[in-house]
């Protein structure tokens, strides 16, 4: 039997809905549940997961082997050599500038191959390339318990390859402004994508994120939490200070709190240091929400066996224990 594993794309239609932040925190959450985790960064833009985790030293070198070369079946080395490991133990296939030219490179490949094989362009399986690489060629299911992708929502070919390969979405949504999606809109989009790709796409859950204290924000959150259309296991508050510090800590929100990273002004310059952050209850509560969310995805959506307890070891502070509730899950006989 094929083993149970987590495969999910953190997807949002619009930019800046905290996708990268959420992908990083989920990846570390799964790792701390005892799983082997791989994250694939498909976003070539600055401020991506690769820079958050401080990997991808060769991302600007066109000569260097990178994921695009492997997706297009022209590798320049071993697939395993693409993988780097973050300080928190999460494996990462970093972004590369070539991801920005993915579609034009893909078109060239399609022109060449359709010419050689005498098939029409429409018949070419352009959205199945990543699937073939990850599961058929590299058989990553043998090595990992969780594979996550942080896509670039604007790059259709790469986004569709990501969704085709992983099949399940987690959708962070941001209250108000451009980030808001109507409830119908999201379902419709998942349906449309499924039809376009001729596959079944699952929506694990929707996560209202950046929810502030205003009435409008609360109403928005309630609207999501009270629907039966999809699961909303948690909402994440507006936590700019905590999440922004991840970029200094080069890691998850768990790391920020445990190492107590703080950014502040000193002698008219912004500095970031370990060991200085306060440990407010609201930030512990946010970590607890992230833990619940990772727990929901692991157990409710994917039925994977995980360690439900997280012990945070906070520098010069002590430990905090978090646990998610597995009682809602029916026992599965082996």
| Interacting residue ranges for ligand ATP, rule: CB under 6 A | 15-21, 43, 47, 209-210, 236, 238-240, 243-244
- Which residue number, 34 or 185, has a Cβ lying nearer to ligand ATP? 185
- Which residue number, 208 or 295, has a Cβ lying nearer to Mg ion? 208
Q: Which of 8, 17, 20, 25 binds Mg ion (CB under 5 A)?
A: 20
Exposed (0-12), middle (13-18) or buried (19+): which is 220, by Cβ within 10 Å?
buried
Which residue's CB comes closest to Mg ion? 20
DSSP alpha helix (H) spans, 89-138:
102-117, 129-131
- Which residue number, 238 or 323, has a Cβ lying nearer to Mg ion? 238
* CA angle in degrees (0–180, nearest 5) for 185-25-166: 55
Task: List the single partner that 209 binds among Mg ion, ligand ATP, none, CB under 5 to 8 Å by kind.
Answer: ligand ATP
Region of 18-26, 31-39, 102-110, 155-163 interacting with Mg ion (CB under 5 A): 18-26
Exposed (0-12), middle (13-18) or buried (19+): which is 69, by Cβ within 10 Å?
middle
- Which residue number, 190 or 287, has a Cβ lying nearer to ligand ATP? 287
232 interacts with Mg ion by CB under 5 A: no
- Residue entry with tokens 């929100």: 253
Q: How far is the CB of 100 from ligand ATP (least distance, A)?
A: 14
Reading the block at residue 62, the tokens are: 């066109």
**Residues 264, 244 contacting (CB under 8 angstroms):** no
Residue 30's nearest CA partner among 280, 284, 256, 302 is 302
Task: List the single partner that 15 binds among ligand ATP, Mg ion, none, CB under 5 to 8 Å by kind.
Answer: ligand ATP
152 interacts with Mg ion by CB under 5 A: no
- Which residue number, 208 or 299, has a Cβ lying nearer to ligand ATP? 208
CA distance 81 to 96: 14
Residues making contact with Mg ion (CB under 5 A) = 19-20
């Amino acid at each position: 039997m094929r083993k149970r594993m987590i495969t999910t794309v953190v997807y949002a239609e619009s930019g800046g809905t905290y996708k990268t932040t959420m992908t990083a925190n989920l990846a570390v959450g799964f790792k701390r549940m005892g799983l082997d985790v791989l994250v694939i960064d498909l976003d070539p833009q600055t401020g991506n997961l690769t820079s958050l985790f401080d990997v991808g030293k060769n991302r600007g070198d066109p000569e260097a082997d990178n994921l695009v070369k492997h997706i297009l079946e022209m590798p320049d080395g071993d697939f395993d050599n693409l993988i780097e490991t973050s300080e928190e133990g999460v494996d990462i296939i970093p972004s590369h500038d070539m991801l920005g030219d993915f579609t034009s490179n893909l078109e060239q490949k399609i022109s060449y191959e359709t010419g050689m094989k005498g098939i029409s362009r429409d018949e070419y399986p352009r959205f199945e390339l990543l699937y073939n690489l990850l599961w058929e060629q590299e058989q990553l299911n043998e090595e990992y318990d969780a594979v996550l992708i942080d896509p670039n929502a604007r790059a259709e070919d790469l986004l569709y390859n990501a969704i085709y390969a992983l099949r399940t979405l987690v959708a962070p949504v941001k209250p108000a402004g451009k980030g808001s999606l109507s409830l119908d809109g999201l379902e419709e989009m998942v349906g449309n994508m499924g039809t376009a790709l001729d596959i079944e796409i699952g929506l694990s859950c929707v996560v209202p994120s950046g929810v502030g204290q205003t009435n409008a924000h609360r109403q928005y959150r309630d609207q999501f939490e009270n629907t039966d259309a999809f699961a909303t296991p948690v909402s994440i508050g507006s936590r700019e200070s905590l999440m922004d510090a991840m970029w200094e800590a080069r890691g998850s929100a768990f790391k920020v709190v445990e190492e107590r990273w703080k950014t502040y002004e000193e002698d008219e310059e912004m500095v970031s240091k370990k060991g200085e952050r306060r440990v407010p209850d609201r930030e512990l509560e946010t970590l607890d929400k992230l833990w619940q969310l990772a727990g929901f995805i692991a157990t409710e959506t994917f039925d994977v066996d995980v360690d439900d307890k997280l012990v945070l070891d906070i520098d010069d502070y002590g430990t905090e224990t978090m646990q998610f509730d597995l009682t809602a899950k029916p026992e599965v006989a082996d």
